[in-house]
Amino acid sequence: MPRTLEGQITMEKTPSYFVTKEAPKRIYNMSRDTKLIVVVRNPVTRAISDYTQTLSKNPTLPSFQALAFKNVSTGLIDTSWSAVRIGIYAKHLDNWLQYFPLSRFLFVSGERLVSDPAGEMGRVQDFLGLQRLVTETHFYFNETKGFPCLKKPEGSGRPRCLGKSKGRPHPKIHPQVIQRLQEFYRPFNMKFYQMTGQDFGWD
């Protein structure tokens, strides 16, 4: 954890916290006042993104379809595959709500982070009790990258986009596989919308 001065905020992130069983208890015991920010995107796209990342490190990986299904003909999804399991957000949130009230959380839409980065960053700044210093003026849409980038990051006069491993093209997945996964996630997504009081528009 980085050290901070009075009046500064310490921030720490890893994609694993939200899905790690022991994390809520450990964080609660460290500081029960911690504010928690969770970035979520459509779990189907998330699973494909996760697969794309693993595939980039291991080109001999079986196909997405082979990993996602326990039985392709019956459409039985393999929930033990982490790329699938991580997207069951309602289940993970349930675990966190044993320790932290909903008011400690901010759920950021991964989709809106791309379509309206300043809007989502506005919500983050409000949640953290910060002045809205990061605004529209700080972002531009980079056509080559296909994503928003920062115009002038702190301490640099040059624009900056996220690295090559963020915003990679995804492999083409059969529409029926996508549809079956959408169906699989629908009840969990509905539960998640209900728990958070936010409709993320994935269904």
Ligand X SMILES: Nc1ncnc2c1ncn2[C@@H]1O[C@H](COP(=O)(O)OS(=O)(=O)O)[C@@H](OP(=O)(O)O)[C@H]1O
Binding residue numbers for 3'-phosphoadenylyl sulfate: 41, 49, 166-170
Shortest distance, position 203 Cβ to ligand X, whole Å: 19
User: 36 phi and psi, to 5 degrees?
Assistant: -120, 125
* Of 10, 15, 63, 119, the one binding ligand X by CB under 6 A: 15
In sequence order, the 6+-apart residues with CB closer than 8 A to the CB of 198 are 107, 109
Binding residue numbers: 41, 49, 166-170
94 to 123, contacts with ligand X by CB under 6 A?
113-114
Is the Cβ of residue 151 or residue 166 nearer to ligand X in the bound state? 166
User: 20 phi and psi, to 5 degrees?
Assistant: -95, 120
Helix H or strand E segment including 181: helix 175-196
Is the Cβ of residue 38 or residue 190 nearer to ligand X in the bound state? 38
157 to 196, contacts with ligand X by CB under 6 A?
162, 166-168
Per residue, what are the HEC states of 111-133? HHHHHCHHHHHHHHHHHCCCCCC
Using CB under 6 A as the criterion, what x/- string covers residues 118-147 for binding ligand X? -----------------------------x
Site size toward ligand X (CB under 6 A) is: 11
Instruction: Provide the Cα torsion 186, 189, 79, 64; round to 10°.
Output: 70
Shortest distance, position 7 Cβ to ligand X, whole Å: 27
Is the Cβ of residue 91 or residue 138 nearer to ligand X in the bound state? 138
Nearest to 28 by CA among 100, 86, 135: 100
Q: What angle do CA 52, 169, 55 make, to 5 degrees?
A: 20
Is the Cβ of residue 36 or residue 114 nearer to ligand X in the bound state? 114
44 to 83, contacts with ligand X by CB under 6 A?
49, 52
The single-letter DSSP state of residue 108 is E
Distance CA 77, CA 107 (A): 26
Shortest distance, position 58 Cβ to ligand X, whole Å: 16
Interface residues toward ligand X, by CB under 6 A: 15, 49, 52, 113-114, 147-148, 162, 166-168
